[in-house]
Amino acid sequence: MKRMIVPIAVEVFAAFGLFSQPAPLTFEVASIKPSPPDEQHFMIQFQPGGGLRATGVTLKMLITQAYDVREFQVSGGPGWINTERYDIVARPEHNADSDLPPEDPRKMSDEQRKTLGEQMRARLVALLADRFRLKVHRETQQALAYALVVGKNGPKLKQAEGGLETRGRMRMGRGELDGDGVKLEFLAQALANQLGRPVVDKTGLTGNYDIKLAWTPDPGQPAPLPLGPPPGLEPSPVPDPSGPSIFTAIEEQLGLRLESQKGPIETIVIDSVEKPSEN
């Protein structure tokens, strides 16, 4: 009879939920409204405490943030996911992320910032499933990509000088990129957005760097999605039409280069979606 004690105990504990999985992360309150017709800018802010504020964003932009992919990695869905824009304000349950000090994400360590990003993506996935009835699946296919590697003359990167309060900030404009204390994997992600093709960091460099990059974008290159600071900043200057291409700028200004290669690329495929439910 003693051998029956353990399985009986397990059944009792399970019945009271002692072995249940943690509840999925969600936003407690979320407002989703169509953007005003004259809205000219778009922005996504991850706010202290796990909140989200977005202005003038399309559903496809939100999907890229929720699933940590670029727009070229999202396929399927009706045309309105690329054109109809929304303003969103969402907040989690009070003190849901109280284990993440301090309140200002700019003062977090890299590990704390990574955890905050994972929690935000989980909440955003739940929000899209609830309010847009979004259903997706993942596929992996072979596609062209770029590898970010060290140039033949070595890197020309400046080690970050600021503390945690300035680390991890990146500002992108058309034909320019400024980063304060960023890792090269984030530079690779920013370049992928500009080039419309995956970029993988294969430099082997693990530090945090202050990066300034300026180039003349091709006519077909997409405008970057601003993340972080609110609108109202001075507009970016018009790129010099006689300036270098992005490939030349990366090599001359950073001492890095992009190598074309082919490899497996994950794609988010939209199975079904609806326009958002009322608030």
What would the DSSP string read from start to end of 192-219?
Answer: HHHHTS-EEE-S---S-EEEEEE----T
Tokens of 148: 């970010």
At residue 135, does pLDDT exceed 80?
yes
| pLDDT given for residue 263 in this prediction | 84
| Phi, psi (deg, nearest 5) at residue 132 | -105, 0
Over residues 59-82, the mean pLDDT reads: 94
At residue 162, does pLDDT exceed 80?
no
Cα separation, 198 vs 51, in Å, equals 29
Which helix (H) or strand (E) covers residue 262, if one does?
strand 256-272
- Report strand pairing: 176-182 vs 209-214: antiparallel
For residue range 253-276, list pLDDT tens digits in order: 999 999 999 888 899 999 999 999
| Phi, psi (deg, nearest 5) at residue 255 | 70, 25
Per-residue confidence band for 119, with pLDDT thresholds at 50, 70 and 90: confident
Length of the chain in terms of residues written: 279
Tokens of 128: 């899209």
Tokens of 217: 């974008």
| Phi, psi (deg, nearest 5) at residue 170 | -140, 135
Pick 126 or 110 by higher pLDDT: 126
For residue range 15-25, list pLDDT tens digits in order: 444 445 556 78
At residue 52, does pLDDT exceed 50?
yes
Which helix (H) or strand (E) covers residue 119, if one does?
helix 110-131
- 31: Cβ–Cβ under 8 A, 6 or more apart, which residues? 87, 88, 89, 90, 279
pTM of the model as a whole:
0.68
